[in-house]
Each structure stands twice: as structure tokens, then as C-alpha cells.
Structure 1
Amino acid sequence: MVPQSVQNDTTFDEYAVIDLGSNSFHMVVARHVNGSFQILNRIKQQARLAAGLNKNKELDQESIDRGVVTLSLFAERLKNFPPENVKIVGTHSLRVARNRNEFLKAAAQVLPYPIEVISGQEEARLIYFGVVQTEPTHDLKLVIDIGGGSTELAMGTDIEPNFVDSRPMGCVTYTQQFFPEQKITPQAFKRATLAAEQQLEKIALPIQKSGAQIAFGASGTIKCIYNILLDMGVEDGIITTKRLNDLISYVFEFKTFDEINFPSLSAERRPLFVAGLAILTGLFNALKLKEMHYTQSALREGVLYEMTEQFSELNVRQRTALGLSAQYSIDNKHANKVVNTTKHLYQQWSKQVPSTLANPTMESILYWAALLHEVGLNINYSGIQKHSAYILQNSNMPGFNEEQQLLLATLVRFHRKSIKVQSIPSFSLFEPKQVAALIQILRLAVLINNQRQLDLPLEAFKLSVCDKMTNCLSLTIDQQISEQHGLMLLDLEQEQNYWEPVKDWQLLVNVC
């Protein structure tokens, strides 16, 4: 007989994370059990996106095809996974690729889950978050991950780092730049090392002075060097300056990459090993590191743990938004009025449109836009929408992927004054109709609260979708409220003028 607890347990408890790296695509599938994860599958496939980037930062068709074929393989394992249990993140190569939308559209044909391209700083935060789950020390720790196209650094004592950065140096790009013929010379190695040190110039001194007690190294390059040290008889595998220099001297005995013959060095990793070693040497030199410990956790584990309710990215984004609110001394009373009005209008809108147009992530970003629309007020009021958008677009915003941060900045950029549709960016995660509706709702919420000192009853405002094929909205205002607030009606007349030139936009205002 099957135990009763098993019979009744219909919860889908498997989670999947896919990391679209510059060199390899990784997928991890795990079960969430008693607050921790049991790894069920790890799959790694070389897609070599970074190798397909040309001088104009465009992915060639061959690299796009390689990536899509890999994702089609992953899709077989993810059949029947609910969307909330799958997270796909793109890193450096997709960050810099000017034609990344071509890849994202092709990927969507084989894998029915959204791909989120994350910033370098967000990548560093998630790597750190993954490491602290498995390396529970309260010492000040530095976490470093050398990837195919970039190197991420993060430092802190708790689950959230107090320093994050991303440097454009990776084992794929440095191989192309300094070892194009796969020949090993001390001169080429020295140039690669110095280039890495140069990338670290602005952050080296603060890290040196921080007093970090321990350094952890994550992912492929550092794992490779750790394993080679074990091959050489280093029992603890700790990377020290002396051991690094000994390894470099040994590598210089080889003339080409193909000659390198360490037992643990795979054929896939061999072409990238020397460049990765040069970058790690530059890190040791610039940051004055004495030793580094390899850790098995990294980006995938960070994303995985953040998918749980306890550490959800929603909570991270909430902390980020509240932190910005405090940093820029936002008028919280007024901001909360705008947030509440936005919620009132959005909830009415969402009940009248197809369910595919509304989603929780989009809704939460709209509310944070309402909260943060005045972050640029201290600069200048007349251009507040531009100043606020600039701050939001260029701030480090933990918990937000690149598109979420861009949507947040876009909503704030167009929350008042004229609407230049051609300046609204295109998104891969959000439809143009969704973005337009969010802008409209935020504009109306801000306008209703223009007279900052007033406490208006929200039930006096009813929003209707007058044409589901276009972005036509109808705002009905209680007659008594309209009679008491003539300025609001004048503002709404001006708002109608702003909407009129925009194709498929229309605002109807009724009083009853």
C-alpha cells in the first residue's frame, strides 16, 4: 500500500535552472526538500556563443544554431514543468550581442519558457548568493567567477553582498585576443595577465583594503585549475600564489595548447585553459590574493535557491525598491498614494483584458514604477521623468533582470508629458500592448494625485477598456469629486491631448 502522505502529494517539487553562458549552457534540475535542494540532473553542453560574436558584437548564425540545438535537448527534460518552476538566465554574450533578439526568438520556438538576460552586477549577486548557501561562513568573503566572456566579483558577510562588479574579461574572449593561434609564449601570457590587471584597476584598492578573510572561486576555469593542482599532487586543492606560479612555469614547457596533457583537462576545456590561467593570475596580482578555495556552487545554485519562497526574487526586488526610495528621499506618503491608485486602476484593467496580457511580474514592476517615479526630483522637477528614468536605468538593482529594469525605467520615463512611441524600447519578455497599457495606467495614477495634499476616494474612479484591440481606455469620475476638483479635469483634458497623436491610443473621460 502506498503511504497516505505520498498518495495525497500532488505538488510539483522539481525546479530547473538553465544558465546560458558564453562558453557552455548548463541545466540543473533539483527537488526542493526540507528547505534544501536535491540535485537530480546536471547537463552541460558547449554552445560557444562568445566564439560567435563578431567585431560588431553580433552573433553569427552558426552560434545561434548551436545554442538553439542545445536548448532543444534541454526541452526534452523539461516537459510538463510549470513555468514558475523554470528559470533561464542569459549572461555576458547575450548581454553584449546587438542581435540577441534573433537568438531569443529562435530559442522560443524550441523552449517555451522566457529567457531573462541579467546584468553583470546581477550575475555577480546571484553567484555570491549561490556560494553562501553551501559555504556558510560569516567571515568577509570574496567570490570570483571567471566565465567565457566576463569575470564577476562579489564580497560580503551575509546572504546579500555589499559589493558586486563584472569585468569584461573571460577565457573565450581572452583566448581570441591573446592566443589566436593557440600557441603558448611567456610574452602572450604576460599581455593577457596585464590586461586582466588593467580591468581591475578601479576596484583593486577597495578590495585590498576590505580585509576579506577568504576568497572563493567558482565555475569552469577555477574548477579546472583546482583539478590540475590535484593532478600535480596538491592534496587540499587550495590555489595559492606559489602553486599558481609553479603551474605557470609548468605550462610554459608546452608550445601549443594541444600539447598540454594534464589528466583532468578535458578536450573541451583545453583551448580555454591558458587564457583562464592568465586571468586568474591577473586577479591574484591585482587584488593581492594569498589563496583561493574552489566552491562547487555558483550562478545556477543562486538562481535555484532564489526560486524558493524564502529567498524569492520578489523579496529581493522589494528590498531594492525600498532602498532606492530611502536613498533619494522620496515623499513616501505621496508615493504610496500613487501606488494605491495604480493598484486600483490596474486591477480593474486586468479583469477586462485577456489573461495573457496580465502577469504578476509585470504588475509588480508597475507598482515599483509608481513608488519610484520621483527618484529624480532632487535634480530638476521640469525633467523629472527623464532624470528618474536615468537613475533607474543606471543603478545597480538586485533582483531585476535587464528587461525588468529597462521596463521600470521606461514606465517612469513616460509617466508624464509627451509620448514618443518611437523612443519606447522593444522587449522580448513583454508585448508592446502590455507596455503601452502600463504606461497609460501609471500616467493616470500620477495625474489623479497631482494635488499632492488631497486624499481622494479611489472608488470615485472607474477604469474601463473601451476597445480590446487598441489601447483605448475610459475613465469615469464621480460627479461630486469632479465638481470639487476642477484642476483634475483640466489635467485630464491635457492628458487627452498627449494621447491623441499616438496610434491606437485614446482616453475617454466621463463624469457621472
Structure 2
Amino acid sequence: MTSLNADTQSELIAALDLGSNSFHLIIARLNAGKLEPLHKVKHRVRLRAGLNKANELSYEAMLRAASSLKEMGATIKTHQIKKCRVVATHTLREAVNRNAFLSLAEYSLGFPIEIISGSEEARLIYQGVVRSEEIKDSCLVVDIGGGSTEIVLGEGTDTQYRDSKNMGCISFTERYFSKGVNQKSFKRAEVSALQKLEQCSHHFRTSHPNKVFATSGTAKALFKAIGLISETTDRLELNTLLKLQHLLCQIDGVSKLSLVGIDEARAMVLPAGLAIMIALMKSLNLTALTFCSAALREGVLFEMEQQNKQGDTRLRTRQHLQRLYNVDRRQAQQIAETCELFWHQTSKSWSLTSTKLKTLLLEAAYLYEVGQQINVTDFQQHSAYILANSDLAGYNQDEQLLLSTIVIGARKRFRRRRLPDIRIISHKMLTRLIRLFRLAVILNNSRQPLVIDLLSLQVDGREMMLSIDKQFFLEQDVTMADLNKESSVMANLGYTLSCQIV
């Protein structure tokens, strides 16, 4: 790797992957779309091992993680890196006390942490592989982690199928290999993995990707391990893996892994990883896999580079949903422009300073009507469900929940007491965004062209005062009735909405 120096510090970016087994930090420079790694740090934290049957993360595991993150945070600060994205995966998706952990973790690290969905994790892994390898044609990527396994099929940088299965080398070790490594435990683990793959295997029966990659720690260890039974270690083949399985079932078979440089901690979970890999090759009809060292963290770095470009991932996601659900784009644009106007007019009084929250408010406007194709009545509920539960590339779990919450609160009753806890926004700020959004929706209910220069919104605490140029109401009697109704809804919640014609 290239050494760090003062001349390049301003150009550096960092990505941190909080995996179920290990935490990986990469500091790099991106030049013309090419990744130049400068510094890497790996800590084996074993976060998944601290998760009990009730999916509660132990205090000891939290402390191990916090200690690791404090050290990594110091490394990032030493190199004066301002742009760092931190993503958390399977274990924190599962942990019921994740918010308590995240508060401690973010304090230790000094940067916010995003929990990403399994599908988003798969997409980022794929981007890391295909962009590092400069793949232009069809490609399949598999990644066996500590708690989940990601499978992605694509063409160039575009994914065609992506999935995350709830099986990993640590969780399968606990479930099937806790009492020893033998043919019976391998069989049980393999059958369980095949069951999980049953619903996706048909996607691969007719696909013949030109490149097939395995990535991350389990794959790296397997490529080392086959050196015990084969001279060819540049590809994984099913027959070779079956021979390795037979070797590991022998007395002291697992201990032999040390001969090829596999440490004890990795060796203990490798049989489970091997069982999953065998199941993958059988279920997906794979003949061989090649190793790629790039994975999730590299994908995160490439994504950071893309954020300010026209090909932004979120823009493509939004446009895809609008096409899929036949959204009226002109109407969506009008609601978004009204939201933006109200944001700027109230930003000082309501302390609306977050660019991220503003962006998400506008995204909610663009996607507000995706549920209309399902049912026009109470369509906002269908829209909210779609936004909360779809695989939205470019969004983390908190962001999807925020979009869903804004949209479901946009019309009819406003259930303030039922607002969910979302880490990236307070209840007070969330309520303010929903009130702005509801007002923007009402003013665009007529679906007529709207001259937003005729609108002025002022706020003071719980009070909203909307001034409207009289030209706006030449044919807007229904809109005035809607505003009066909204004023009553807000009054019942202890808020004030007044309208003035000027």
C-alpha cells in the first residue's frame, strides 16, 4: 500500500465496516474512479459472539467494540480525514439493544454509524468487487460473513439480483459445530444452508456469469486451506472443498489449518464457512470461484465518490420507483419544490440546519405517491410500507424509516404519539418535518401548476402562519377548505396553523 503523507491528507477518505466477526477500516484516495488504498486496519472484535438467544448484545461485546472503535477513531483523526462513512451489518441489524450500543460506539469513534440492510450490504459488496476488478460483463459475487451470506448477480456495475441470507460462519458454528467437527455436523449445516438457498436457486439455473468471485475472510481462509489437499490454490472447486471437508473431519483435522497460516480463531469457524460454501456451489450450480480481496468497505468508498455525480445511486433508486409505480413526476416535483420553499422560510426559526434531513424530506415528496397504484384510498399507508420494506439502494435503515414516517403522516390523521424512534432525528424535529410536508401536500392537492412565490410561511415554536397572495385563490376554494380542516387537526394536537390572504 502507498504510504500516507501530508501532501495527500486533504484528498483522503475512509470507510469502516462493522462486521459480525471483524471491524475493517480502510483509508484511501480515489483518482479518476480508481481506488488507491493507503492504510488498512483490521480488528477481530467477535461482535456476533456477544449476541444471546434473545438477540441482546452483551456489555462485554460492547466494550470490546468500543475499545476497537476508539483506536480506529484515533487513526482517522491522526490523518485529518473529514469524510468517513461507517456501516454496520448483520449483528447490529439483529441486536434489540443496538441503540444503546450505537450511542457508545459513536462516542468512541467520533463518527455516525449507519445500519444497512442485507440487500444494501450485498449491493455495496458487489460494487467493491466489480469496480476494483474493473468488470464490464456478467458477474456473480458471494460473501460469507459471520452472521449472514450475501449473493449478488449483475452485469458490469448494475445488479440484477441481490440477497442476504441469515447464515454465517459464526452463527452456523454455534448451531451445528459446537459439539465437534464431523460428517454429521457438516451434513446438518449443509442441508440448513441449502434450505435457505432454496428460494433463490432458480435465479441461477440459466445464468452463466463470466466471472464468479468469493470475497472476505471466510473465502480468504478457504483459499489458504485448500493448500492442504491441492497444489492449485487460485480457485475453489467443489471437489476440492469436499476433500477439505473430509480432512477437517479427521482427528486433529482442524488443527492442521495452522500449517497454511490460518490462526486458531479463524480455524474454529472455518468448518461452518466451508459447509455454507459447499451449499452455495451446489445450489447455484457453480463450478469454480476466484478470490477477490475487495469487499464491503471498498464498495462504500466507491459509493462515496459517486454521491455528488449525476449517476447518484439514490437518484437511480428514486427514478426506478417512480417508473415502477407510475408516479406523476410533475406533481412530485411540485410537492418537493413547495417543501424546499417551506424549509428555507422556516429554517432559522425552527433550526433546520441538516442538509441530510432536507434531502430526505424532498425524497419523501418525490416518492409520496408510489402507493397510489395499489389503492388510491389511504395510499399513503401503501407508500409508507413500500418505502420501509423495499430494497432501496443508497439508503440505510434509519433513512428508509424516516421516509416512511413522513409519508404515512402526510394526510388524514396525524398520530404524533405513534412516531417511531429514529436515531437520526428527534421527535420534535420529525414532527416539524411532517407538519411542513402536510402543508405542502395540501397546497398541491388540486394538481394544478403552483406559483410558489405566492406563498410565505412563518413559524414560532408550535405556531405556523401561512400568508397567501390573493391571486392564489382565484379558483382555490377547496384548498382553503382543506387548510381550515388541517388547522383543526393541528389544534387538536396543541399546534396552531393560521392562514392569511394578502
TM bucket normalised to smaller: over 0.9
Residue among 272, 279, 284 paired with 1:282: 279
1:222 matches 2:219: yes
Return the offset for 1:484.
Answer: 4.3
Return the alpha-carbon distance in structure 2 between the equivalents of residues 10 and 282 of structure 1. Answer: 45
- The residue that corresponds to 2:337 in the other structure is 340
Q: In terms of mean alpha carbon deviation, does 253-262 or 197-206 score higher?
A: 253-262
Return the alpha-carbon distance in structure 2 between the equivalents of residues 464 and 401 of structure 1. Answer: 32
Structure 1 vs Structure 2 CA RMSD: 2.2
1:304 matches 2:304: no
- Contact 2:145–2:169 (CA<8 Å) still a contact in 1? yes
- Contact 1:151–1:170 (CA<8 Å) still a contact in 2? yes
AA paired with 1:35?
Answer: G
| Residues 142-195 of structure 1, C-alpha deviations (whole Å, 9 max, x = no match) | 1000000000011111212111100000001001000123x1110011100111
Return the offset for 1:481.
Answer: 2.3
Shift in CA distance, 147/10, structure 1 to aligned 2, threshold 3 Å:
closer
- The residue that corresponds to 1:141 in the other structure is 139
Shift in CA distance, 11/173, structure 1 to aligned 2, threshold 3 Å:
closer
- The residue that corresponds to 1:107 in the other structure is 105
TM-score, normalising length: structure 2: 0.94
AA paired with 1:412?
Answer: V
| Correspondence 1:57-456 to 2 at 5 A | 57-79=55-77, 85-181=83-179, 183-230=180-227, 232-254=229-251, 257-258=254-255, 260-309=257-306, 315-354=312-351, 357-452=352-447, 454-456=448-450
Return the alpha-carbon distance in structure 2 between the equivalents of residues 83 and 429 of structure 1. Answer: 22
- Contact 2:12–2:81 (CA<8 Å) still a contact in 1? no
- The residue that corresponds to 1:27 in the other structure is 25
Residue among 490, 500, 509 paired with 2:481: 490
| Matched residue SS, 1:381 | coil
| Correspondence 1:447-466 to 2 at 5 A | 447-452=442-447, 454-466=448-460
- Contact 1:185–1:255 (CA<8 Å) still a contact in 2? no
Return the alpha-carbon distance in structure 2 between the equivalents of residues 311 and 195 of structure 1. Answer: 43
Return the offset for 1:361.
Answer: 2.1
- Contact 1:230–1:237 (CA<8 Å) still a contact in 2? no
Count of matched residue pairs? 498
Shift in CA distance, 310/375, structure 1 to aligned 2, threshold 3 Å:
closer
- The residue that corresponds to 1:3 in the other structure is none
5+ residue gaps, structure 2: none
Shift in CA distance, 317/363, structure 1 to aligned 2, threshold 3 Å:
same
1:508 matches 2:498: yes
Return the offset for 1:258.
Answer: 4.8
- Contact 1:28–1:43 (CA<8 Å) still a contact in 2? yes
Residue among 466, 471, 476 paired with 2:467: 476
Return the alpha-carbon distance in structure 1 between the equivalents of residues 368 and 108 of structure 2. Answer: 38
Return the offset for 1:236.
Answer: 4.6
Return the alpha-carbon distance in structure 2 between the equivalents of residues 73 and 209 of structure 1. Answer: 47
- Contact 1:314–1:399 (CA<8 Å) still a contact in 2? no
Shift in CA distance, 10/65, structure 1 to aligned 2, threshold 3 Å:
closer
- Contact 1:31–1:39 (CA<8 Å) still a contact in 2? yes
Return the alpha-carbon distance in structure 1 between the equivalents of residues 422 and 275 of structure 2. Answer: 37
- Contact 2:258–2:264 (CA<8 Å) still a contact in 1? no
AA paired with 1:457?
Answer: V
| Matched residue SS, 1:380 | coil
Shift in CA distance, 73/169, structure 1 to aligned 2, threshold 3 Å:
same
| Matched residue SS, 1:152 | strand
Return the alpha-carbon distance in structure 2 between the equivalents of residues 500 and 217 of structure 1. Answer: 58
- Contact 1:358–1:434 (CA<8 Å) still a contact in 2? no
5+ residue gaps, structure 1: 1-5
Q: In terms of mean alpha carbon deviation, does 98-107 or 25-34 score higher?
A: 25-34
Return the alpha-carbon distance in structure 2 between the equivalents of residues 62 and 330 of structure 1. Answer: 49
AA paired with 1:39?
Answer: P
Return the offset for 1:251.
Answer: 1.2
Shift in CA distance, 10/497, structure 1 to aligned 2, threshold 3 Å:
farther
Shift in CA distance, 268/10, structure 1 to aligned 2, threshold 3 Å:
closer
